Every structure is written in structure tokens, then in C-alpha cells.
């Protein structure tokens, strides 16, 4: 795994960020990834999947033969895709904005897919904003607590519906 491949450099590329967002908490075949990202060409998708595998962000959890080709099932790897505070500080405004807009675009695409689907799932949806008054230590405590609270729900289970919890923290500069 190349040392110079920071998580931010690898993950915050728009296509790779979208791949990581699709895989969060579940395993997908490359065909399922292609179906989830229809605007990304197959060659581009495979190139970015290879980069994510090479850097340990994705792992191949299964391979099987399908009509003479090898179909891989992918999941997040041990390295995961968390960009830490030090890496975020090193990004310039343009890089951070591109990553954020890609993130928002995937949230919007998830919402569009939800709206086009079963109206009965609306009980599992919601959105809102809550102002918090914190310092860095408070924020670390909140994030640790959220991690502990959410950990039992992060793995795929057949008896549960998958929902996407998206969080955005932005300092209020008013």
C-alpha cells in the first residue's frame, strides 16, 4: 500500500467517494455497483475500484465465476474511509468543496431513489438541522458516543431495512 496515498487523496475523488458511499455497511458485487452508479462507465468504475482495493479502503470478500468472468463482491476494508482532522486541514477550499458537493449529490440521489420507490418507506425517513454549542473536546465526545450508539446497526441484516444516516457539521459563522 503506497505511503503517499492519504485517505483524503484517495477517497475524496468524486467517483471513489460515491463508491465508498454505496458500500457503507454492506457488500456489493461489481455489477450491483455498476447498477447503482449508472452514469459512471464500466472502465472508470473498475479503475477506481482497483485504486480503492490497492489502498486497502475496499476489500474483495468473494469471487465467483459468472459466464466466464470473475465477479467480485466488495466491502469496505480495514483501512476504512475516514478522513481525519489533520487531513481535512491540509485540503484546500476547492478540494473540500468538491468532496462535499459529491457527498451531497449522493444524498440527493439516495433521496430521489427513495421518492421513486415504495411510499410505505416514508416512516423510515426524516431530515432536520440541530444547532449544537461545542468545543473540540465536546465534538469528540459526541462523535465517540454516536459511534457507540450506532455500532449495533452498522452491519447488514436481512430482517432490517437499510437507511442512510448522513451527518454534516459546519461551523455557524454568522
Question: Which residue segments constitute the domains of the chain, with CATH numbers given?
Answer: 7-121 (1.10.10.10)
- Could you tell me the pLDDT band of residue 138, with boundaries at 50, 70 and 90? very high
Asked if 71 contacts 65 with a C-beta cutoff of 8 angstroms, the reply is yes
Reported pTM: 0.69
pLDDT tens digit string along 26-60?
899 999 999 999 999 999 999 999 999 998 889 99
Contacts of 16 (CB under 8 A, 6+ apart): 10, 48, 51, 52, 57
Asked if 12 contacts 99 with a C-beta cutoff of 8 angstroms, the reply is yes
Bridge partners of 73?
A: 29, 62
- Could you tell me the pLDDT band of residue 2, with boundaries at 50, 70 and 90? very low
Write the CA distances from 171 to 16, 125, 131, integer angstroms.
26, 25, 10
Predicted local distance difference test score (pLDDT) of residue 4: 44
Q: How far apart are CA 31 and CA 96, in angstroms?
A: 30
More confident residue, 25 or 57: 57
Q: Can you point out the beta strands (E) in 17-136?
A: 28-29, 58-66, 69-76
Amino acid at each position: 500500500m503506497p505511503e503517499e496515498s492519504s485517505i483524503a487523496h484517495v477517497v475524496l475523488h468524486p467517483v471513489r467517494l460515491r463508491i465508498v458511499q454505496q458500500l457503507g455497511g454492506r457488500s456489493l458485487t461489481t455489477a450491483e455497483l455498476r447498477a447503482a452508479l449508472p452514469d459512471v462507465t464500466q472502465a472508470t468504475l473498475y479503475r477506481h475500484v482497483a485504486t480503492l482495493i490497492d489502498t486497502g479502503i475496499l476489500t474483495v470478500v468473494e469471487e465467483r465465476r459468472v459466464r466466464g468472468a470473475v465477479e467480485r463482491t466488495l466491502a469496505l476494508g480495514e483501512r476504512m474511509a475516514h478522513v481525519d482532522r489533520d487531513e481535512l486541514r491540509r485540503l484546500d477550499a476547492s478540494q473540500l468543496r468538491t468532496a462535499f458537493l459529491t457527498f451531497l449529490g449522493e444524498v440527493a440521489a439516495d433521496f430521489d431513489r427513495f421518492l421513486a420507490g415504495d411510499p410505505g418507506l416514508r416512516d423510515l425517513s426524516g431530515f432536520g438541522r440541530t444547532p449544537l454549542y461545542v468545543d473540540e473536546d465536546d465534538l469528540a465526545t459526541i462523535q465517540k458516543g454516536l459511534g457507540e450508539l450506532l455500532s449495533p446497526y452498522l452491519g447488514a441484516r436481512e430482517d432490517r431495512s437499510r437507511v442512510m444516516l448522513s451527518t454534516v457539521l459546519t461551523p455557524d459563522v454568522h
